[in-house]
Amino acid sequence: MTEERFETRAIHVGQEPEPITGAVVTPIFATSTYAQPAPGEHTGYEYSRTDNPTRTALQTALASLEGVNPGDSGGCIATSSGLAATGVIGYMLKPGDHVVLPNDAYGGTYRLFAQVFTQHGIAISAADMTDLDSLRAQILPETKLVWVETPTNPMLRIIDIAAVTEIGHAAGALVCVDNTFASPYLQQPLSFGADIVLHSTTKYLGGHSDTVGGALITGSDELLTQFRFLQNATGPVPGPFDAFLVLRGIKTLAVRMDRHQANAATIARFLEDDARVDRVIYPGLEAHPNHALAKRQMLGFGGMLSFIPKGGIEAARRVTSATEVFILAESLGGVESLIEVPALMTHMSVDGTDLEVPSDLIRLSVGIEHIDDLITDLDRALG
């Protein structure tokens, strides 16, 4: 099975028919504990904080989608949220360690590092990772982690994973790539040398806005052992039903992502030609400064785009409040289209920092609805 294509692995790896009943869908093992044949002996499961069969299936599947197949070194831990996965990495850091973040990152990531980890002696700085000299300037002898998002949130910059990894490794630092926006269907950072891949499985992997989860994937047995110990010690585990929902979601990831990015590309071109719009940011547009890198590093350009309407923040408020098919809401990656103003919603925590985003920027998570309905909705909302 490990030789099969992505779409086939998404449906089958780790999800073999249940051996007792033959059920073709992985069961929801709703149990907290497991009978042991003798004291201190168990059949692989002893307590569901440590592991659960539904979670095991999800972890096996996600590892495979990021290029770590059963029998390979490394693997995956599934967590209760994307930020819980970030927290596990934070637990690996020690007072005096230094972390380089991108100057365009998810607001929750920045908040966790800047307002929680720094209280425990972790130092952080931000770099424009599209400029490798900017990154090099932020590397210190104490740097232990380089954090990458690509595409970034919400400015959709594309970061050269291989080049950043080379810089990080030369400094003795681990490199973690948040692959949430691209999903493993479009980008597999471990293949470019990254040490860790992080996902908010809430987004494209789950795909239906009905669960919250996260994951860490690595090709290193040593890192996986640390992740598993820290998860068991600190407890940020997903419930079996959440694991089941993400397993269900990844089965259709490939077909959904094809539709997400086809719709996003059409909308990007529509907005690019619209006189009511000042700027469109989408890696699939030739005008995007990182377009060539995106073509080289990704299998497609994704379903996220941002734009700035003419008229400033008031126009951004008006447009996002006027759509009917696009739902005004945080999050992304579901089958339904969402619209938001990051400066007022998902990225309020970076206000006044190096990561501050334009106040009039609108972010779209383009869903899989009919493209004509989406275009009509945006056209009407632009007024």
> In the sheet that 338-340 helps form, which strands lie side by side, from edge to edge?
277-281, 304-309, 362-365, 338-340, 327-328
Q: Is 110 assigned a catalytic role?
A: no
Annotated catalytic residue within 91, 106, 110, 185 = 106
Three-class DSSP category at 105 = coil
Q: Give the whole-angstrom CA distance, residue 379 versus residue 323.
A: 9
Token couple for 342: 């990051």
Neighbours of 136 (CB within 10 A): 13
**Any idea what DSSP says for residue 221?**
H
Task: Kindly state the greatest CA–CA separation across the chain.
Answer: 73
* Interatomic CA distance for residues 199 and 118, integer angstroms: 23
Q: Say whether 373 is catalytic.
A: no
Q: Is 203 a catalytic residue?
A: yes
CA 177-178-182 angle, to 5 degrees, is 110
Burial call 63-72: b when 16+ CB within 10 Å, e when fewer: bbbbbbbeee
Judge whether 282 counts as a catalytic residue.
no
Catalytic residue among 49, 228, 251, 276: 49
- Residue showing tokens 């694991």: 243
Identify the active-site residue in 55, 144, 157, 203.
203
C-alpha span between 283 and 186 (Å, rounded): 13
Q: Which of 51, 97, 178, 195 is catalytic?
A: 178
Count the residues in the chain: 383
Which residues are catalytically annotated?
A: 49, 106, 178, 203
